[in-house]
Structure 1
Amino acid sequence: MEKLIYKNGLLYTNVFLSHDGKEVIVEDVIIDTGAFHTIISPVFLEKLDTEVSLDDEIINAYGLGGGMCSSLRKRIDKIGIGGINIEDMRIDFGEIDPEDRVNGLIGLDFLKAAKIIIDIDENKIFLKD
């Protein structure tokens, strides 16, 4: 179980990224059931000090307002929220918020793969039994 932070009408958490022996914590990440894919600010890709590999992809995505943005889809060794981890997952690194108030979105790809249940009343997430 992991406690979520309710602010500005959204549920926030911290995310742990691990790749090639390097680790980083990403704060202010929104749990977004409306997002198909998880996306993290590219600042954290730089903090992981990892290189672009042949299996990385440039992805074009459209937001709710219809604006298009590009991101780098990269396989990461591990992504987690508290003790809830997914290994060998492809996540996007791209701009989410031009004003840098949000560092990422946890999308349905992570939520479904981890079999997450969201308790809105208690502001918690936990694994399905």
Structure 2
Amino acid sequence: MKHKLIYKNGLLYTSIKMIHEGKCVNIDDVIIDTGAFHTIITTDFLDELGAKFSNDDKLIEASGYGGASSYAVRKRIDSISCNSSSLKDFKIDFGEIDPNERVNGLLGLDFLREAKIILDLDELVMYTQ
């Protein structure tokens, strides 16, 4: 099934859903970022999930475009889905992305590749075969 992407400000946006320990949160304004090695979501949604820190969580240093670096928590969540593509036991980074809070997350190559996402940039849709 093809999922229509939103094109604004020169970027592709979508929505995702995360489920962890019985709690579900829907997140809009997530950029599809093929240049991001790992998916990262703002920490606000970690709070919304009510996710507690565990011994498996890792503090990581993330570097962005231009060499800027920041810290994030890498945490395993029960599932993440985008349209009909869903992955279970997936590790997501939670940290600051946009200090102006216009972006809620970056859907990175880790999700796109593991979910076998195909991006059709002509039609502005994503799907799996």
Normalised to the residue count of structure 2, the TM-score between the two structures is: 0.97
| Matching residue's letter, 2:11 | L
Cross-structure match for 1:10: 11
Structure 1: segments with no counterpart, 5+ residues: none
Partner residue in 1 for 2:98: 97
State how many pairs are aligned: 128
Amino acid at match of 1:14: S
Q: SS at 1:79's partner residue?
A: strand
1:15-66 Cα distance to aligned partner (Å, 9 max, x none): 1000000000111000000000000000000000110011000010111121
Distance 2:111 2:75 in 1: 14
Measure how far apart 1:2 and its partner are.
1.2
The alignment status of 1:126 with 2:127, answered yes or no, reads yes
Moved over 4 A (4+): none
Q: Which residue of 2 aligns with 1:67?
A: 68
Gaps spanning 5+ residues in structure 2: where?
A: none
- The whole-number CA distance in structure 2 between the counterparts of 1:23 and 1:3 is 22
2: CA distance between counterparts of 1:53 and 1:3?
36
Partner Cα separation in structure 2 for residue 50 and residue 74 of structure 1: 9
1:1-129 to 2 correspondences below 5 Å:
1-127=2-128, 129=129
Q: Percent identity?
A: 55
Give the TM-score of the pair, scaled to structure 1.
0.97
Q: Which amino acid aligns with 1:112?
A: R
